[in-house]
Amino acid sequence: MALSLPDPTFDAESTRRLYPTLSLFEGFPYLVTRVVPAMYHLILLPVAASELELVLLARTQWRANRLETCLVTGADRAWFISADGRDALARTPPRGGTVVTGLLKAARLWPDTAERQARQRRLDALAEAHRRKGGYILGDPTKGGRLARTGRGQKDGHAASSAAPRAESGAGAVSTRPRPSSARS
C-alpha cells in the first residue's frame, strides 16, 4: 500500500501506524511526481539551492506536466502541488509505492556534482530494488473512459448487435470494425 499526496485519512489510526513502515528516500531535496496511484517518479534537486529556488523548480515542473508533484526537503517537510495547482505544506512526504527515476525530463538542468551523483546512485539502487520485486501496477481503469450515449446504433445505452463501436477521428484513432470473415485466422 502507498500513501499519496496529502491524505485526508492520515488522521486514521491505521494510517498513522502504517505510514512509518513505508519506504522514504532520504536523498533530500527531490521532487516526487505521482505518475499513477502507487507509482512515483523522483528527480533529484541541487542541495545548494535555496528553498525559494526549490519551490520555483517544483512549480515549474508541475506546469510542465500537470501531475501531482511534491517537493521533499526533509523527512518531515513536503510541499504538495495537486493536479489542479493548489498547494499545501505538510509534514508527511509521499512514502511507499513503486519508485522510478529518469523517465520524466526535469524542467531545468543544473551542474552534476559528485554529491548529486552519489545521491543518484542511491536512488537508482532503490528504483532497481522496486523493479526486482516483480509484479505489476494497475492504474485507474476508468481513466479516459466515457459513458455510452444513446444514439446511432445504440439502444438504451447498450450497443446494438449489428453496430460496431466507432473510433474517434483524428491522430491515433484505431478502427474497431470487425475484419471480414475471410481475413480472420
Domain ranges in the chain? 23-132
Q: Is residue 57 exposed (0-12), middle (13-18) or buried (19+ Cβ within 10 Å)?
A: buried
Which residue, 14, 40, 51, 45, is CA-closest to 28? 45
pTM given for the model: 0.68
Number of neighbouring beta carbons within 10 Å of residue 25: 21
Q: Quick one: cell of 134? A: 516483480
If pLDDT is split at 50, 70 and 90, which confidence band does 131 have?
A: confident
Confidence at residue 141, expressed as pLDDT on a 0 to 100 scale: 56
Q: What mean pLDDT is reported for the chain? A: 77
Cell 520555483 locates to 56
91 or 8, which is more confident: 91
